[in-house]
Structures are given as C-alpha cells and as structure tokens.
Homo-oligomer: A and B are copies of this chain.
Amino acid sequence: MVNKVAAPTRTVDEIMSWYEGQNPGVLTNLYRVLMHGRLGGTGKLVILPVDQGFEHGPTRSFAPNPPAYDPLYHFRLAVETGCSAYAAPLGFLEAGAAQFAGKVPLILKLNSHDILQDEVDPLGGQTASVKDALRLGCVGIGYTIYPGTKDRRLQYEQFRAIAEEAKENGLLVVLWSYPRGGSMKSEDETALDVVAYAAHLAAQLGAHIIKVKLPSAHIWDKKSAEAIQKYNIPIETLADRVRYIVQAAFNGKRIVINSGGPAKDDAAVFDEIRAIRDGGGFGSIIGRNSFQRPWDEAVKFLDTIMGIYEGASPSADVPRKNKGATISVAPCRFRSVLR
C-alpha cells in the first residue's frame, strides 16, 4: 500500500485545537498519527497493539498464527494495512525499529503485566522508558493503569513522572485505563459508569489519547445509576454508551478509542465498529483479532474496519452530537491555512 501524504483536513485541525497549549513536539506527533495511514485526515484511528505475548503468554497469543511469533511480522502488518500506529513492548519494537524506521508511527508500551501469578489487584511494572521511546524513533508512549486496584497510587505516580518526561520530549501520551480490583466483580469492569470514570481519570491524568473497553449497559455505582436515571442519559444502544464515555472524557475533547476484547465472530466486531463510529468514538485498537488469523484474512479484516470508519461522518461533527456540550467551540488555532 502506498502511504500517500494526506492533505490537512478541517477535522484534523479541529482535533488539534483541543490540544492547544501542548508544546509543538507533542502537536507534531499528534498530527503525524492523525495524518498517517488509510484513515489519515479522517479524525479516526485504527491502532495495532501487540502486547498479548507479554500479557497472556506467547502460546495463547501466537499459536493460532505462527508467523506472528516474529516481531517483523507486526511491523509489516501495521505498515501494509495502513494502521494509524503500532504499539508494543520494548523487545518487539527494538527488533524492528531500525528496519522499519519511519514507515509507521510507533508507540512504546512502557509498562506491562504477566499472568504467571494469580492476582486480584494487578499492578504490572515499568519495562521501558521515555529514553527508549526516543532512541527508537517513536511518536509516543503507552501506559496501562488499573483504577480500582489497591496500589493504583503507585501506577498513577509512575505514570505522572513518565507523562511529564514524555511531554517535555514532545512525545504523545497514550493511556490504557482498565478498572480492576477487589471492590469490583468481573462484570463491573465494563459497567458504563466505571468505563466513563476510567476515561475521565485518564483525561484528568493528562493523557492525549485514551483507550478504554467498550461499555455494557450495567451500572456499578448506585449513585451513578440514580443520576443516569434522573437525567435521562440514553444508554440502551452501544452507540449511546460510546457517546457517553466520549462525553465523560472532556465532552469529546480528548481522543478516546476502544477495543472489543476477544469478540467471537467478525460480524459482531463490525457491529461494534459501527457503534463506535455512530457514537462519535475516535477509532479502535485491535490486537488479537488482527494477528491471530492468517495474513490475508487479517488484511481483509482490517480493510473492512477501516472502510466502516471511512464512512463515518467527519469527526468535526462529533462535538455537536454530544448533546451535553452547549458552550461554543474554542477558537481554532489550527484551522487549515490551505483552504
């Protein structure tokens, strides 16, 4: 696939305007991601993440498609399908960053967690640094927090220091926000109010791009349930719920993307993508569904997904769709000089 230089768009200018005040380095890397690949210029993102080997072990992750044991495989997949970016832990990026230098925006995952120990409150650990991201030519760094866990404080503080250093060095900060821990049951982790809380926390912690799970219609917190009922917040369809979590992340002024986890068949995945699109979400981060099938099928699968997003109404419309937001749009420093 030819990685054409996309022309700036109003949609991208609009998104850039929400990040006014960030330094030029951060803005440049944000622009790179928004303009890269097939969805460049649309305001939508499809990111390929491959941290499953660390998180769940290599056998579960790569046995279904053995070429995926190879780190170069994922670079090539991200490049050839026109993904917006490729995110992975240190080892995978170190193994191909030189050969694929510049061909796809890279996001280095700075912390990881394995499952060789059963844990109610996962914590993970820092496994790479901002300096690593810089020497590998990355556009940004990734980090996972587990709000709700006992030692989340350690994560928030580690993230804080990392994000500060990343921003000072002009890197994007991408935050995976996955509620967990002893106060929540498994189903609570994707409860609408919990995912909205997770998205809001990530935004308050200063993330530029936020990754959360797709929310169910279940509500965890009693007072939140009362508020949702009292103020008639629509939560029936998945699109409704996506709209709500986008609203929870600064009324749509932070990029929120979703994964659907291990969805069972492709039709279900595509329905989720349509719901994200219709709810004003900003795109997807799709790992297992991409690399756990043969190359040709993966290419076709990602092609379909990007096609759905391409059919999306321009994201410049998104804030208007978020009914809650009524104050006027911020003056847009980034409105294109090309038009």
Contacts and interface: CB of A to CB of B under 8 A. Distances in A.
A116 B179 contact: yes
A99 B331 contact: yes
30 contacts: A21-B94, A21-B96, A21-B98, A54-B200, A57-B224, A58-B248, A59-B196, A59-B197, A59-B224, A59-B227, A59-B228, A59-B233, A62-B324, A64-B231, A66-B326, A69-B322, A69-B324, A70-B251, A70-B253, A72-B330, A73-B251, A89-B204, A91-B205, A95-B250, A99-B331, A114-B147, A114-B152, A116-B148, A126-B156, A132-B206
B114 A228 contact: no
A310 to B, nearest CB: 28
A160 interface: yes
A201 B91 CA distance: 9
B69 A250 contact: yes
Interface string A24-61: 00000000000000000000000000000110011110
Number of copies of this kind of chain in the complex: 5
A259 B231 CA distance: 26
Interface of A: 18, 20-22, 53-54, 57-60, 62-64, 66-67, 69-73, 76, 89-92, 94-99, 112, 114, 116-118, 123-129, 131-132, 136, 147-150, 152-154, 156-157, 160, 164, 179, 181-184, 193-194, 196-197, 199-201, 203-207, 221, 223-224, 227-228, 230-231, 233, 247-248, 250-251, 253-254, 322-327, 330-331
A63 B200 contact: no
B330 A126 contact: no
